[in-house]
Amino acid sequence: MEPVIGIDLGTTNSVVAIVHGGVPTVIPNRSGYRLTPSVVALAKNGKRLVGQLARRQAVTNAERTVVAVKRLMGRKFSSRALQDVLPRMPYTVIAGAHDDPQVVLGDKQHSPAELSAMVLTELRLDAEAFLGESVSKAVITVPAYFNDAQRNATKDAGRIAGLEVIRIINEPTSAALAYGFGKSLDEKTIAIFDLGGGTFDFTVLHMFKGVFEVMATGGDTLLGGEDFDARIIDWLSQSFLEKHQLDLRRDKMALQRLRDAAEKAKCELSSMRQTEVNLPFIAASPTAGPLHLQATLTREALEQMAEDLIQRTLAVCANVMADAKVHASVIADVLLVGGQTRMPRIHDAVKGLFGKEPSKSVNPDEAVAVGAAIQGFSLISGTAKEEMLLLDVTPHSLGIAIAGGYFSRIIHKNTTVPTSAHHVFTTVKDGQTSAKITVVQGENDLAAQNELLGEFMLSGLREAPRGQVDISVTFDISADGIVSVSAVDAQTGVRQSITVTASSGLTEEELRVAAAANEDWLLTQRTDPEFEVRKAEAERLFKEFEELWPRLAQAAGSGLGQEALQRAQAALALARIQLLQRESEGLAGSVERLERMLAALRGAIDRTIETTAGES
């Protein structure tokens, strides 16, 4: 059976999982970690870096390191949401030809979908290394409140990465699958509170005999851990500005250091009452010289500066429960998903709203990817299909623009998908022979305030007084949430239709070129026999050094000295980085150097032992 991986493509971190031998398993990356930072960088030598390697060099290469690209997916450059986010990004984003955001890395521009594809490619390679076979199919999760443009951009990213995305599913629903998999559960209603790095979703879901039915969902695609970090960044920057008249947020390297420090402080405050932030040489003044940032942040101060963000999540919860027509007391379990839910104040707020302790039965970081793997397994396994049925909903209303600029809803939000619905409209002018069908998505009564999905013309209408020509408009939504719209002249049968596929800002040709370029890059990663030989030699040396280390430590205390050990540690660290970055030529040099070091150190140990024996 061909493997299908489940991917949680996160704002801060990403996770890949698979159902292996009937057991959902998180796949560690090639560095051994279960979480892969959603970070992409262009190193100064022109090499593409992804994950931990990209994150490690972010401070010294801030302008060419891309973080939180998920927040740019499927958005227009001119949108207010994007313009609010950009000042906090350490890299440069410009407007593309279709008002789409383009990230500048070196002398090239990349769409958010292309950058996300680089993260997906890294996860694909990790899965292939784990499984020992090629991987080409995946289920990818998205925030429940992602609109059609953002979902299509995610599918485009999968396509560029060489993955057939067999299903896009909502993150909270995916976490619920992880919660219910392999368990014999009584009928119950649960809620998923999913606060990740960049987005927030809340879903109410009914479970009964393997049927997972979403009752209602809602969220905020610009509310997550990044916003909590931003409050700390502003707090640190403002105090520094008042003291030194320098705004650290205007310097890209300083901003990246602030981002790292803010995230670290926030995480520490989940287990400590206060933490110290120390950033030496963060800036320089013409008069005062080097400047340092030192501050003490308490948990109470963080909770106070982020309280409005927490209240926004609770307001979403209240609205979704109202849509689902359930009371908090009916919810049997509340699942906390996403790293930001580790914040004690979040835990207390959820407990206060529902009157019960949130469930700890799923891993907040891994549940979404595990659920995606389960869904992938169910789509290719006949037995699993019978045991589990997922009924999701559309998070936004869909309809068309009508006379006066108003929005007429044809499919209302929280309708179970797949679904189809139609409505009959009439002409608004005498002798009207064509009608422009403008498809929009959102909740505002004014069409212009909602998301434009696409438009088409229905021509060839019979001439008649206004109101006497009926036009039947039908909307279809697939299980992936992909929208198709058709319009028919009820009298003549004239028909036009559109499948809404716009979104990532890339044309079909640009998608093909990006996918081909990524496949070429993949080939260089896979087909380098010289690198494989050097890799085997390096791993052998790592093992031999590891076995020798206790004797080296003992010899260091008996006259060998610490300097030789420190040189060996530095050489080993460099070789490991070269191995991860697949720097074949550099690794060859490191292997030779380590061979010489190993021989020299073994000789030194023998001499030290002989000297010690002679003295005794």
Q: Which residues are catalytic?
A: 8, 70, 171, 194
The answer to whether the CB of 571 falls within 8 A of the CB of 593 is: yes
| Two structure tokens written together for 226 | 């990044």
Q: Which among 133, 118, 182 is positioned nearest to 371, based on CA atoms?
A: 182
C-alpha–C-alpha distance, residues 426 and 428, integer Å: 6
CB-count burial class (<10 Å; 0-12, 13-18, 19+) for 355: exposed
Do residues 174 and 371 touch, judged by C-beta distance below 8 A?
yes
Q: Please report, for residues 22, 210, 353, the alpha-carbon distance to residue 207 in angstroms, rounded to integers and kept in the order given.
A: 21, 7, 21
User: What's the angle, vertex CA 595, arms to CA 594 and CA 600, rounded to 5?
Assistant: 95
Alpha-carbon torsion 27, 30, 32, 36, what sign?
A: negative
Calpha distance 374→432 (Å, rounded): 52
Which of these, 412, 414, 413, 411, lies nearest to 422 by C-alpha position? 411
Separation of alpha carbons 49 and 525, rounded Å: 12
**Cβ–Cβ contacts within 10 Å for residue 387, how many?**
13
Determine the Cα–Cα distance for residues 63 and 60; give it in Å rounded to an integer.
9
Tell me the residue ranges of DSSP E strands in 550-604. Answer: none
Return the HEC string of 145-178: CCCHHHHHHHHHHHHHCCCEEEEEEEHHHHHHHH
Q: Are residues 349 and 138 in contact, defined by beta-carbon separation less than 8 angstroms?
A: no
Residue 488 forms beta bridges with which residues?
A: 472, 495
Cα dist from 31 to 17, 577, 580, whole Å:
16, 10, 7
Is residue 28 reached through a cis peptide bond, with omega within 30 degrees of 0 on the bond before it?
A: no
Instruction: Give me the residue label for tokens 């300097």.
Output: 563
Cα angle: 327, vertex 192, 69; to 5 degrees: 135
